[in-house]
């Protein structure tokens, strides 16, 4: 089951985000305060940033974080899959595919692209994304933090 984060999920999300950022799926950890900021933004933003709780048989199995922006290149709104995390015990149970189906069905008017990034050596995730119709964009991502 996929459901939107509620205030009661704050502690759960922070716990799972910590698990994700201390896994091999990310290049570097982030300060724990970022998790708190993300929850607050998702609860107040009205759709710009959203967190979803992934459940399996009523148990918290993971989460996903999305953000929306306009893209001239795509010609409309883009839903960014910022993060998707499934706890080890719940992998290979269809939760990733279920989440992507949910996003596609609930993408809203004007959304023309779903975009994500994946660490190059995360071949398991890349295989799933290719099966779901995602293509590689040959961009080099650059950031400047403040």
Q: What is the CATH number of the domain that holds 76?
A: 3.40.630.30
Nearest in space to 20 (alpha carbons), one of 69, 70, 54, 68: 54
Does residue 80 lie within any of the structural domains? yes
pTM comes to 0.91
Tell me the pLDDT band of 23, cut-offs 50, 70 and 90.
Answer: confident
In a domain, 146, yes or no: no
Sheet containing strand 59-71, strands side by side:
2-4, 49-56, 59-71, 76-86, 111-116
Cα–Cα distance for residue pair 73/77, rounded to 1 Å: 10
pLDDT grade for 62, boundaries at 50, 70 and 90: very high
Q: How far apart are the first and last CA of the chain?
A: 37
Percent of the chain with pLDDT strictly greater than 70: 99
User: What pLDDT is attached to residue 7?
Assistant: 96
> In this predicted structure, what is the pLDDT of residue 109?
82
According to DSSP, the residues that pair with 69 across neighbouring strands are 78
Q: Is residue 47 predicted with pLDDT exceeding 80?
A: no
Full domain range(s) for residue 88: 2-131
Residue 13 forms part of a structural domain: yes
The total number of structural domains in the chain stands at 1
């Amino acid at each position: 089951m996929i459901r939107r984060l509620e205030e009661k999920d704050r502690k759960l999300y922070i716990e799972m985000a910590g698990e994700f950022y201390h896994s091999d799926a990310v290049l570097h950890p982030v300060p724990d305060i970022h998790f708190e900021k993300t929850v607050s933004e998702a609860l107040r933003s009205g759709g710009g940033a959203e967190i979803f709780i992934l459940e399996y048989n009523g148990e918290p199995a993971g989460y996903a974080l999305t953000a929306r922006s306009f893209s001239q290149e795509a010609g409309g709104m883009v839903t960014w899959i910022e993060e998707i995390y499934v706890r080890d015990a719940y992998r290979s149970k269809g939760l990733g595919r279920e989440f992507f189906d949910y996003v596609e069905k609930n993408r809203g008017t004007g959304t023309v692209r779903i975009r994500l990034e994946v660490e190059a050596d995360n071949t398991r995730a890349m295989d799933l994304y290719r099966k779901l119709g995602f293509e590689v964009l040959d961009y080099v991502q650059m950031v400047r933090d403040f």
